[in-house]
Amino acid sequence: MNKRLLRISALIIILITSGCDTPNELFRAPVVGIEQDNQVPVLIKATNAGKVRIEYHKPDTENSTFTEWAALSDMNGLSTNVTLSNIDSDTEYTYRVEFENGKHSQWYQFRSFPAAGKPGKFSFVFSACMREKYLGFNIFEKIEQFSPTFVALLGDQMYGDYDGNLNTLEKYSADDSLRNKMIADGETVLSDETVLQAFRSKYDRVFDENYQKMASHFPLMATWDDHDFGQDNSDGTYPYKEEARRVFKENYPAYPFEDEEGGIYYKFSISDVDVFVLDARWYRVPMQNEEGESKKMLGDEQLRWLLNGLKASEAAVKIVFSSVSLNDYGGDTSSGRSGYDSWMGYQFERSKFLSFVEENNISGVLVFSGDQHYPSAHILNWQAPLRAVSRSEKVIEYSIHDLGSAVFDFSASPLNYKRAAGHPLVPEYQENPAFSYEVFRPDWAVPRDTDEDAPLVIGSVFGLAEIDTESSPKKVSVAFYELDTESAEMAEIFRVKISF
């Protein structure tokens, strides 16, 4: 064979080989992130290495805009973020993924946030605890029906130590019928793999087609809690937290993290509302440690960032997302370990947070949390007498002007899990402003005398927050929804209204 033929043959081999490495399909649907500065990050996860970009436009025009090309590699779990720029406020956009070989995904749609820094209206759904074993009910379809501005996932989006323990690389055996179905469908099942690969497999399994449909259409905000951090009641001593952070970033859109090399806390704004998203795991010391100034959950830097941010905020409504509840009655009841897994187990930081809000006359702080496995509403930092503007069986309304520096704590979970009961209500505390006043907790979440009496029905719970800063007075409404097993619909069970 002459040299020319050899060169042609080598070129053909190169082209064929490179063509095999060129991605031509998505591993799962894109995930839309939170908009900031008229830019929207979108996470793409494909089947193999190569370059991708996004083509996007408004539905009423055919003039497309293209993002920069981004690279997919094994180093980033074949996922990458691309940024859509010059996004108009409160506008519908159509987008699709383009691969470097010229192939495209299907078209998707999302709506951008209302104008930044201006009064507006928006809503979000919040919940937590999405265990794979209980994903039979399509909770995401119900979320879509509310058309929220964004969806806030507040931790335990997968369970690293259940349904196959990634910490021991345990094979998935919790439900053989589900395991066999996954194998038949060609899905990943934990086997002999590294912890990093096991984290990836967990997310791949739990983010099913129902989740994908929602996340490709509604902007997604997320943080983690103990199980997707890696282990029940895990803290900053967890040995695989670097792997946990790496894979978290491979599965969610890029957020404006304060420390790219540390915990995943960040801040963003929507309309004229400031939002603080906390990391309650990366910096925390073990919950069974003796209470004192050295026992911290957020750590010095994150707590200082939160307090200074709240003080500097000029927003009437200030939202804090925490994976664990702030009230007196949430917290771990399952592990047998001493201490509380919630803010109650970290009294120094909890007291510092509440006293700082009070001393600086900061009003309008609303905390939204997950983890405790039942819906609840509490008021902290309250002063006697605590009076509602109005109250009925399922609706209560307060005026922030009557509450001063009171802090609300709204908790909703699980998305898909067994119901849990938390800690019992202490009646005398309800008359004492040093403790949380319980506005609402459903009857099924009241602890019984014996475990046999506690309900173990698999349920789905989420909250819907609606914020309107255009009206006078400004208004916030938080409603809790629970799965009605007879109708298979989400039923509103209680609503809290606040005027500002």
pLDDT of residue 14: 33
- Peptide bond between residue 473 and the one before it cis (omega within 30 degrees of 0): yes
Confidence of residue 41 (pLDDT cuts 50, 70, 90): very high
Do 78 and 72 touch, CB atoms closer than 8 A?
yes
| CATH number of the domain encompassing residue 101 | 2.60.40.380
- Residue 11 predicted with pLDDT over 50: no
CA atoms within 13 A on the CB side of 323: 30
pLDDT of residue 457: 60
pLDDT of residue 7: 39
C-alpha to C-alpha distance for 363 and 382, rounded to whole angstroms: 11
Q: Is 69 in a helix, a strand, or coil?
A: coil
Among 85, 111, 137, residue at a domain's last position: 111
Contacts for 244 with CB less than 8 Å, ≥ 6 apart: 160, 199, 224, 228, 229, 230, 238
Among 88, 111, 134, residue at a domain's last position: 111
Same domain, 177 and 81: no
Same domain, 317 and 337: yes
C-alpha to C-alpha distance for 354 and 346, rounded to whole angstroms: 12
Same domain, 237 and 379: yes
pLDDT of residue 82: 98
In a domain, 324, yes or no: yes
Mean pLDDT (the chain) is: 90
Same domain, 79 and 189: no
Q: Strand pairing of 365-369 and 318-322?
A: parallel
Highest mean pLDDT among 21-25, 115-119, 414-418, 448-452: 115-119
Same domain, 152 and 91: no
Using the 8-state DSSP alphabet, how is residue 219 labeled? -
pTM of the predicted model, to two decimals?
0.91
C-alpha to C-alpha distance for 66 and 47, rounded to whole angstroms: 21
In a domain, 15, yes or no: no
In a domain, 6, yes or no: no
Rg (alpha carbons) of the chain, rounded to whole number? 24
Same domain, 153 and 126: yes
Q: What percent of the chain has pLDDT over 70?
A: 87
In a domain, 105, yes or no: yes
Do 115 and 140 touch, CB atoms closer than 8 A?
no
Residue type, 304: R
In a domain, 400, yes or no: yes
| CATH number of the domain encompassing residue 305 | 3.60.21.70
Q: Is 417 in a helix, a strand, or coil?
A: strand
In a domain, 286, yes or no: yes
Cα pseudo-dihedral 175, 199, 257, 345, rounded to 10: 60
Closest Cα partner for 129 from 474, 401, 411, 373?
Answer: 373
Tens digit of pLDDT for each residue in 75-108? 999 999 999 999 999 999 999 999 999 999 999 9
Same domain, 166 and 294: yes
C-alpha to C-alpha distance for 268 and 255, rounded to whole angstroms: 9
Do 279 and 301 touch, CB atoms closer than 8 A?
no
Domain count, the chain: 2
In a domain, 238, yes or no: yes
Contacts for 127 with CB less than 8 Å, ≥ 6 apart: 152, 153, 154, 370, 412, 413, 414, 415, 461, 462, 463
Same domain, 53 and 202: no
Among 77, 111, 145, residue at a domain's last position: 111
Total residue count of the chain as it appears in this document:
500
Contacts for 291 with CB less than 8 Å, ≥ 6 apart: 347, 348
Same domain, 102 and 192: no
Reading phi first (left if > 0) and then psi (alpha if -120 to 50, else beta), residue 58 is in beta
Q: What percent of the chain has pLDDT over 90?
A: 79
Same domain, 104 and 161: no
Same domain, 35 and 161: no
Same domain, 107 and 125: no
In a domain, 7, yes or no: no
User: 330 is written with which tokens?
Assistant: 């949430």
> Among 21-25, 28-32, 146-150, 378-382, which stretch is predicted with the lowest mean pLDDT?
21-25
Give the residue numbers spanning the domain of 102. 20-111
- Residue 467 predicted with pLDDT over 60: yes
Q: Which residues pair with 98 in a beta bridge?
A: 53, 104
